[in-house]
Amino acid sequence: MLTPEEKKSFKQLRAISKTAQLGNFEWEFEDLDWNEDKYLSPSVEIFKDDDVYRSGKNLNLPDSIAKSIHSYYMREVAPKIESTLDEVIDSIPDDPSTQKLWFVIDIKNQDIKSWVEVGYYETQDWEGGDWSEDEDPEAAPIFETLRQLNPEADSFMLSFEGGGDSGSLADKIEAKKDGNHIGSYDVPTIIQSWCYNALPGGWEIDAGSWGVFTFDCENRNINLETQYYQYEEMSKDIIEESFQ
């Protein structure tokens, strides 16, 4: 709950914003998984300027207002961050990719808001493709190349992963016999070229995808399984309080 002195400072902040047409004040704390000092015990100086881009101009708020923002944050927000963050992380299906904390002074609505935001990647349903030696004339030399790598193998597997407009095949292709791993080899150029041409459109775009090429040496068939990633976010409020 706001103290009378804090409420007075927030009202002064609103007047400054309206006069200078500054809008809301926002602080974004990123990398919560390792940057604990910054969000659990920030300095008063952090609150003299915010993270909103304002044509390169610093706010340089008065010390009295920065100290009020800091005292409110340390009392009402900081002690609740880790427990709120744990709740969100426990509710998502996979490990978090990003962890953020927002602290916002909403000038128009005259309230203070803070919440944690966790980003993670969720996998979608598998998509696939199959190529037989009869359907693709380039398959025959691929299987001859694989036989030269290891004539005992009944299959080979080559994985890939991409995202953020880049990606690659794995460095090694894995040989198997009866489901057991029997060797790893540098990927021959002919197989690299074929696989890159066979990858589905968009495999490396945005959140990207991962998957596996399986080369069935006995049936001389190539199978591709692809699973796309989808970026999701989940958030939870820490506090929302009016300073009217």
- Tell me, yes or no, whether 111 and 161 share the same domain: no
pLDDT at 20: 80
- Cα–Cα dist 11/130, whole Å: 66
- Tell me, yes or no, whether 195 and 91 share the same domain: no
- Tell me, yes or no, whether 140 and 113 share the same domain: no
- Whether the CB-CB separation of 139 and 132 falls below 8 Å is answered with yes
Query: Residue 181, class by beta-carbon neighbours within 10 Å (0-12 exposed, 13-18 middle, 19+ buried)?
Result: exposed
Q: What is the pLDDT of residues 38-53, one digit of tens each?
A: 899 999 999 998 888 7
Residue 104 lies in a domain: yes
- Cα–Cα dist 63/201, whole Å: 55
Residue 224 lies in a domain: no
Q: What is the pLDDT of residues 119-145, one digit of tens each?
A: 998 888 778 889 998 888 888 999 999
Total count of domains within the chain = 2
Q: CB 189: neighbour CB atoms within 10 A? A: 9
| pTM reported for the whole predicted model | 0.72
User: Which two three-digit tokens encode residue 218?
Assistant: 């006995």
Q: CB 142: neighbour CB atoms within 10 A? A: 23
- Tell me, yes or no, whether 21 and 106 share the same domain: yes
- Tell me, yes or no, whether 111 and 139 share the same domain: no
Residue 227 lies in a domain: no
User: Which two three-digit tokens encode residue 44?
Assistant: 């008063």
- Tell me, yes or no, whether 112 and 198 share the same domain: no
Name the residue range of residue 56's domain: 4-121+233-242
- Tell me, yes or no, whether 116 and 237 share the same domain: yes
- Tell me, yes or no, whether 196 and 160 share the same domain: yes
Give the phi and the psi of residue 234 in degrees, each rounded to 5: -135, 140
Residue 149 lies in a domain: yes
- Tell me, yes or no, whether 237 and 215 share the same domain: no
Residue 127 lies in a domain: no
User: Which two three-digit tokens encode residue 138?
Assistant: 């380039």
Torsion angle, alpha carbons of 93, 99, 105, 109, to 10: -20
pLDDT at 82: 95
- Tell me, yes or no, whether 75 and 40 share the same domain: yes
Residue 56 predicted with pLDDT over 70: no
Element containing residue 14 per DSSP (H, E): helix 4-20
3 state SS of 113: strand
- Tell me, yes or no, whether 11 and 106 share the same domain: yes
- Tell me, yes or no, whether 176 and 90 share the same domain: no
Handedness of CA 117, 118, 121, 122 (dihedral sign): negative
Widest distance between CA atoms in the chain: 81
Residue 157 lies in a domain: yes
Residue 37 predicted with pLDDT over 90: no
- Whether the CB-CB separation of 107 and 79 falls below 8 Å is answered with no
Residue 84 lies in a domain: yes
pLDDT at 38: 87
- Cα–Cα dist 200/224, whole Å: 10
- Cα–Cα dist 5/7, whole Å: 5
Residue 39 lies in a domain: yes
